[in-house]
Structure 1
């Protein structure tokens, strides 16, 4: 009898700062190349030395990567320079990175050693999204707040550009669990803007109330109505992709109603509705969960990280906007150098 095939173990490392669907898409692509995905996440100090200040703290970034459904193992405080000995330490066959060059503080390629050893693979970088872009969106809104009736393009078409979104939604949902008749179906609704550990812990708690979790994603218009001039930072499809990448979510509903009706609950065979802290677009006197309460389907979930919110993240960034603007200037200069290195490597 032939010996069983050794599982192919893949190493991916990165900052995963402001974890978004671009990060998740890279992890999805990497997982397709093997069996076990091991993800190394750099510490705040390591990123500060090589790139600049982080948007999210390291504990927040570790939690976000652990919640991604394509990740099997997380290694905290991974070094910025990817070395063969580190791949060997975690029994990884090769390393995967996007098709762009990432450099150390001195301009050298972070992956030169594993490339030379033939233990490097590439995946396609996701266009139209980056942590730098998200920071720029927030900084823009600080100086250009939305007014009543304002267009949701924020005068920034890049913020709402949709790059093959329907295909990405299909790919992100490809391995979702099928709903079966014996499932206890849980529903949550929300904006899920700037997907963060507060969202993750809420979804984790909601999933524990049943066996199948559906997340309703509010439209851009409803988010803007309820959160006013600062939101949404990410558009409906961007927010949906972030939610679909979460291991606790089984399915989503796009453009979900802020106040789910009994018809909505019956249509989706929902057994329990878990409360979010999202502000209602309706009158303060209107209970958006009235239908669920009347049907005996309402449940409140205590969030163990109530301090984690989109507001807190945006406030943190805006309070330090000069630091992040300097970071973005440094990153632009570094990106120009990386482009030169990439062009030279392909000649």
Structure 2
């Protein structure tokens, strides 16, 4: 999964040089060394290519990085986080480039990893803002409590994040850009939970329809009320960083209103067009259509993309439908990391 932790690593890597080439592994390579991937190969390529700090993507890059690969793409050195990455056999995947002095390290972003996000979905609890089932409509109770217990509840990979990014981190991800008077401002809003290729393609299409793309992200409490007790999987700050890392996005409203209102449309950004995907739109808490006003004004447009079928629920269902497989994946990854650390300390 392409999350804000990856984006932060790519940001740091770009600061070390002038041109950033990013290798993305195939499904087969990931399955062999880490376990079944959550997002599919083409989805990951789209996600990495959309990151604002990436200049070029190598599709199907080998899991073990060798010197000839660096030379083929004209790379002076390789960058990775300060966490240990090993093959299925427990060997350091960057041993060759490290031995050649062509490896640099960036800081890993704490409290997030694909394994940890998978763990959140396996646990499926939002302790920091979960309603009781009695408070929820029947239609939104289907998964509540079903996946909130078991051995994995005590795993370090099944935690609820309380990340609070600093203003410095938000500035690092932001463009510090304002729309010019002549520019057409396009607005897209949503939850943007588990930021994926479906989100990215909507943002790309929306940016093509104007000059400046403004993205509204709903707060945790609003999402919780609209979508149900297990949502969002990622909190507001995590979701904001994920969206800010996308190269199609110019500015973000953190905690945007669920319904597009007059104050938003005529505010400092002077929105000309409101865009939404072909996915189903849940009504507001008062059962009103959140896009009633832009529809009435004739500035609302729905767009379809090649990933219109992909939603946050799709990602969650992939995990929950193969729950046992992913629980085993997390257990194996944890055991492999502990074994590798013991090997290094020996």
Aligned to 2:261: 261
After superposing the two structures, state which structure 1 stretch, 57-66 or 322-331, moved more.
Answer: 57-66
The answer (yes or no) to whether the contact 2:202–2:276 under 8 Å persists in 1 is no
Aligned to 1:223: 223
SS in 2 for 1:79: coil
Question: What is the CA–CA distance in structure 2 between the aligned matches of 1:48 and 1:304, rounded to whole Å?
Answer: 25
SS in 2 for 1:311: helix
The answer (yes or no) to whether the contact 2:126–2:230 under 8 Å persists in 1 is no
Matched, 1:99 2:82: yes
**Can you list the C-alpha shifts for 1:138-192, whole angstroms capped at 9, x where unaligned?**
1112799852569xxx99994231243433211101x454421121100111000
Matched, 1:29 2:19: no
The answer (yes or no) to whether the contact 2:26–2:60 under 8 Å persists in 1 is yes
Residue of 89, 94, 112 corresponding to 1:111? 94
**1:282, CA displacement in angstroms?**
3.2
Matched, 1:54 2:37: yes
Q: Unaligned stretches of 5+ in structure 2?
A: 137-147
**Can you list the C-alpha shifts for 1:183-215, whole angstroms capped at 9, x where unaligned?**
110011100001111101111111111000010
The answer (yes or no) to whether the contact 1:128–1:158 under 8 Å persists in 2 is no
Question: What is the CA–CA distance in structure 1 between the aligned matches of 2:100 and 2:121, rounded to whole Å?
Answer: 41
The answer (yes or no) to whether the contact 2:126–2:229 under 8 Å persists in 1 is no
Aligned to 1:14: none
After superposing the two structures, state which structure 1 stretch, 259-268 or 121-130, moved more.
Answer: 259-268
**1:343, CA displacement in angstroms?**
4.5
TM-score (norm 1): 0.87
Matched, 1:79 2:62: yes
Aligned to 2:342: 340
Question: What is the CA–CA distance in structure 2 between the aligned matches of 1:342 and 1:34, rounded to whole Å?
Answer: 30
Residue of 109, 113, 116 corresponding to 1:130? 113
Q: Unaligned stretches of 5+ in structure 1?
A: 1-17
Name the CA shift for 1:170/1:159 in 2 (closer, same or farther; >3 Å).
Answer: farther
The answer (yes or no) to whether the contact 1:191–1:218 under 8 Å persists in 2 is yes
**Can you list the C-alpha shifts for 1:31-60, whole angstroms capped at 9, x where unaligned?**
011111100011111111111111111111
TM-score (norm 2): 0.87
Question: What is the CA–CA distance in structure 2 between the aligned matches of 1:163 and 1:116, rounded to whole Å?
Answer: 37
Aligned to 2:210: 210
Question: What is the CA–CA distance in structure 2 between the aligned matches of 1:269 and 1:248, rounded to whole Å?
Answer: 19
Question: What is the CA–CA distance in structure 2 between the aligned matches of 1:340 and 1:59, rounded to whole Å?
Answer: 36
Question: What is the CA–CA distance in structure 2 between the aligned matches of 1:128 and 1:194, rounded to whole Å?
Answer: 15
Aligned to 2:165: 164
Question: What is the CA–CA distance in structure 2 between the aligned matches of 1:319 and 1:166, rounded to whole Å?
Answer: 38
Name the CA shift for 1:185/1:61 in 2 (closer, same or farther; >3 Å).
Answer: same
Matched, 1:279 2:282: yes
Q: CA RMSD in A?
A: 2.2
**1:342, CA displacement in angstroms?**
5.1
Question: What is the CA–CA distance in structure 2 between the aligned matches of 1:132 and 1:279, rounded to whole Å?
Answer: 30
Aligned to 1:240: 240
**1:258, CA displacement in angstroms?**
0.8
Question: What is the CA–CA distance in structure 1 between the aligned matches of 2:310 and 2:21, rounded to whole Å?
Answer: 26
Aligned to 1:329: 331
**1:341, CA displacement in angstroms?**
4.7
**Can you list the C-alpha shifts for 1:90-130, whole angstroms capped at 9, x where unaligned?**
01010000012111111111111101111000000000001
Question: What is the CA–CA distance in structure 2 between the aligned matches of 1:196 and 1:164, rounded to whole Å?
Answer: 21
Question: What is the CA–CA distance in structure 1 between the aligned matches of 2:344 and 2:237, rounded to whole Å?
Answer: 31
